[in-house]
Chains A and B, each alone.
Chain A
Amino acid sequence: MGQQVINGLFLGSIYALFALGYTLVFGVLDILNLAHAAVFMVATFVAVALVGHGLDILLALPLAVLFAGLLGLVLERVAFRPLRARTDSNIAGLISSLAAATIIEAVALEIWGPNITRFPFGTMPEGPASQFQLLGGTVSRLQLTIIAVAVLLFLVLTWLVKGTRLGREVRAVAESPRSARVLGVNVDRAIAAAFFISSALGGAAGVLYGLAFNSISPDMGHGVELKGLAVIVLGGMGSMPGAVLAGFALGLTEVFVVANLGGSWRDVISFAGLFLFLVLRPRGLMGAAATREA
């Protein structure tokens, strides 16, 4: 039981990180950025490559996250900004994000090949010496590190969004781009900032996911992409606290479903949940009504 809670929190923290970035862009632009999972994947490969060149993972992680953020800026510039004036920008944006995802995946496939890549042995301490007993279960130092990094990133993000001028501008744009502009907010800059933060979070989730499961391939984003969709719907589209809550809820539920029903039912839960939530409670746990807009 305790073991399952720990595993669930661990999985949930990765889902939450991934979904936070996903939902941030949705909140600001009303666009589903399907390239988010590609950024997640590429950041992981970048981290592997950096570690492979002898960098410590504690240095490789922030660098990969920075790379992901910059890639987010490029995405915004190439695939989203040109479409912003279109009346059907939310559908057009979804499609151009798909295009961007496909291109990124193609590049990753060409550079790193279709096979599974792993972090070099010894990237993180392994073996019995690095394990603890907690809540009646076994926790590895890796798992604790991942949960700690995730919590740290939640705190940084909360400070960025609530405590800084840029964060307030991003929230103002999410509320209403027109009134934000009237209030003197540089909307382009706020949207670019949202993309940087979003992609950085997606990249962080990718590196942590890669460390956790150590099975890295160009299509590793596919599963998380749809899981992330379930999380942001459950949390309420655009709601960041909702995404964190729903991320942990999904992580815990999955671990318990696997333990009690078997592994093949794990994914059914998230999609059935996504579907039922959209039909019965479109606003999710803490979001605005989905039937009204976007």
Chain B
Amino acid sequence: MEQLTDIYLTYQSTIGYIGINALLALSIYVSLSCGQLALGSAGFAAIGAYASALATMKADLPFPVALLVAALLPALVAVPLGLPVLRLKGVFLAIATIGFGEVVRLGLVNWDYVNGAQGIVAIPQKASIWMIYLAVAVTLFLLWRVRGSKWGFALEAIREDEPAARTMGIPSTQYKLAMLVLGAALAGLAGGLEAHFTFMVAPNGFGFSRVVDMLVFAVVGGAQVFWGAVAGAAFLTVLPEALRELAPLVGIEPGPLRLLVNGLVLLLVILFLPAGLVSLPRRLRERRAARKAARAPAGGAGAAA
């Protein structure tokens, strides 16, 4: 028991970050679930982080209210952002939302009231790990209930073939906008939690590389199902910790080793496991079944076909 407490204390920050990263990965996933590559989440997280920090520090609002602000403000921003950019397809949407994220970051760098590039420090530590995981749990519950519902099918249909989905009466633009707004709220919430978990926020914590991380979590975990993003965030947040122990053994600095392994994992997943790590057990089962079928004569051939 004491050992468990020790582990908890040592890895408290990692455990918290698994949850925060899971929320951020989910913010990318919700747009991916209807086929949209929207990469504005770093900008939304920045808005949420700054808004909540100002809410608790300058306006003395209670933390739950500050978190509400952190989720709602980015969601409100996402509506006027989404109406024009969601007309863009594929990588153009990605580029426009990256541009949005950078504009937010540079706006903060140039905003003296929040100390520009220095960012805000000494934010009260009000976010505890159970809050982070409560937020993750509520989000997962919501996504679980949407899956298999009328709305869940509509999202899948838009992802597979948007024009065809529209001929079935599905107002695809509304769905895409709803997912962008939900993603913005999740990213903002994560930003608000992070600001009050690490005591500080700075614009450069919300740059392009941050949104790349989020995308990588979602894709490595698996963007076909909602728990994939969480699995990816957990795996890739724990991995650097494990690698730090491993680095001296392989003779590579921890920094490059972490990048190298991240890159290799991402490449292998996109090439060989397009449905992400969560599809690995199923793929292994299928392979084993196929091998068994190949080995068995006559009868097995029918099963394989």
Direct contact between A and B in the complex (CB less than 8 angstroms)?
yes
A binding-site residues for B, Cβ under 8 Å = 30-32, 78-79, 82-83, 86, 88, 90-92, 94-96, 98-103, 105-107, 109-110, 114, 222, 225-226, 229-230, 233, 237, 264-265, 267-268, 271-272, 274-275, 278-279, 282, 290-294
Q: Please determine whether A99 and B99 come into contact, CB atoms closer than 8 angstroms.
A: no
Whether A291 lies near B88 (C-beta < 8 A) is yes
Across the interface, do B89 and A294 meet the contact criterion of CB distance under 8 Å? yes
Q: Which residues of B contact A (CB under 8 A)?
A: 35, 37, 84-85, 87-92, 94-96, 98-100, 102-103, 106-107, 109-110, 116, 208-209, 212, 215-216, 219, 252-253, 255-260, 262-264, 266-267, 270-271, 274
CB neighbours (8 Å) of B274 from chain A are: 86, 92
A94-B91, A106-B260, A271-B103 given; A264·B266 CB < 8 A? no
**A229 — which chain B residues lie within 8 A by C-beta?**
95, 98-99
- A271 contacts B94, CB within 8 Å? no
**Which of A30, A90, A114 has the most chain B CB atoms inside 10 A of its CB?**
A90
CB–CB B259/A105 < 8 A: yes
A275 lies within 8 A of B103 (CB): yes
Q: Which residue of B lies closest to A278 (CB)?
A: B96
Given A32-B95, A94-B94, A109-B255: A291 and B270 interface contact (C-beta under 8 Å) = no
Is B271's CB under 8 angstroms from A100's CB? Answer: no
**Closest chain B CB from A188 CB (angstroms):** 18
Contacts of A274 in B (CB 8 A): 95-96, 99
Q: How far is the CA of A229 from the CA of B208 in the complex (A)?
A: 12
A135, B215: Cα distance in complex, Å: 48
| B255 pairs with A226, CB closer than 8 A | no
> Across the interface, do B103 and A107 meet the contact criterion of CB distance under 8 Å?
no
Residues from chain B with Cβ under 8 Å of A294 in the complex:
89-92
- Cβ A233 vs Cβ B95 within 8 A: yes
A105 to B208 alpha-carbon distance, docked (Å): 15
Q: Is the CB of B259 within 8 A of A106?
A: yes
Contact, CB under 8 Å: A79 / B91: no
Residue of B nearest to A266 (CB): B106
Check A278–B270 contact: CB distance below 8 A.
no
Q: A294 to B94, alpha carbons, bound, how many Å? A: 11
With A102-B266, A293-B89 as known contacts, state yes or no: A96 contacts B271, CB within 8 Å: yes
CB-CB under 8 A from A233, the residues of chain B are 95, 99
Residues of A within 8 A of B270 (CB): 83, 92, 95-96, 99
Inter-subunit contact B103/A272 (CB<8 Å): yes
How far is A264 from B252 in the complex, measured between Cα atoms in Å? 36
Q: Is the CB of B85 within 8 A of A278?
A: yes
Residues of B within 8 A of A86 (CB): 274
B147 CB to nearest A CB, Å: 20
**Which chain B residue shows the least CB distance to A219?**
B209
Question: In the complex where A90-B90, A92-B270 touch, is A267 in contact with B102 (Cβ < 8 A)?
Answer: yes
Docked complex Cα distance between A275 and B105 (Å):
14
With A109-B256, A294-B90 known to touch, is A268 a contact of B271 (CB < 8 Å)? no
Give the contacting residue for B215; candidates A32, A90, A95, A292; CB below 8 A. Answer: A95
* A82 pairs with B271, CB closer than 8 A: yes
CB-based contact B95/A110 at 8 Å? no
How many angstroms between the C-alpha atoms of A131 and B67 in the bound complex?
Answer: 58
- Measured CB to CB, the closest approach of chain A to B135, in angstroms, equals 26
Q: Is the CB of A103 within 8 A of B99?
A: no
Q: Told that A91-B90, A99-B264, A279-B84 touch, could you supply 5 new A-B pairs with CB distance under 8 A?
A: A102-B259, A106-B259, A110-B257, A226-B102, A233-B95
| Beta-carbon contact of A96 and B267 below 8 Å | yes
What is the distance, in angstroms, from A90's C-beta to the closest C-beta of chain B?
Answer: 5
Q: How far is the CB of B52 from the nearest CB of chain A, in Å?
A: 24
The smallest beta-carbon distance between B267 and chain A, in angstroms, is 4
CB <8 Å contact, A271 and B99: yes
Contacts of B109 in A (CB 8 A): 264
Docked complex Cα distance between A96 and B99 (Å): 21
Q: Most chain-B CB neighbours within 10 Å: which of A86, A264, A265, A279?
A: A279
Q: Report 23 cross-chain contacts, Cβ distance below 8 Å, ordered by A residue.
A: A31-B91, A32-B94, A83-B270, A90-B91, A96-B271, A98-B212, A98-B215, A98-B216, A102-B266, A103-B260, A103-B263, A106-B258, A109-B253, A226-B98, A264-B109, A267-B106, A274-B95, A275-B100, A278-B85, A278-B95, A278-B99, A279-B96, A291-B88
Known contacts A32-B94, A278-B85, A98 near B266 by CB under 8 Å: yes
Complex CA–CA separation, A230 to B98 (angstroms): 10
Q: Are A275 and B99 in contact (CB under 8 A)?
A: yes
How many Å lie between the Cα of A134 and that of B270 in the bound state? 52
Among the listed A82, A99, A230, A275, which residue makes an inter-chain contact with B263, where contact means beta carbons less than 8 Å apart? Answer: A99
Cβ contacts under 8 Å, A100 to chain B: 263, 267
CA distance A291 to B90 in the complex (A): 9
Contact, CB under 8 Å: A95 / B219? yes
The distance in angstroms between the C-alpha atoms of A264 and B96, with both chains bound, is 21
**Measured CA separation A107–B37 after assembly (Å):** 28
A79, A237, A278: residue with the most chain B Cβ atoms closer than 10 Å: A278
Min Cβ gap B221→A in Å is 13
User: What residues of chain B lie closer than 8 Å to A83, measured between beta carbons?
Assistant: 270-271
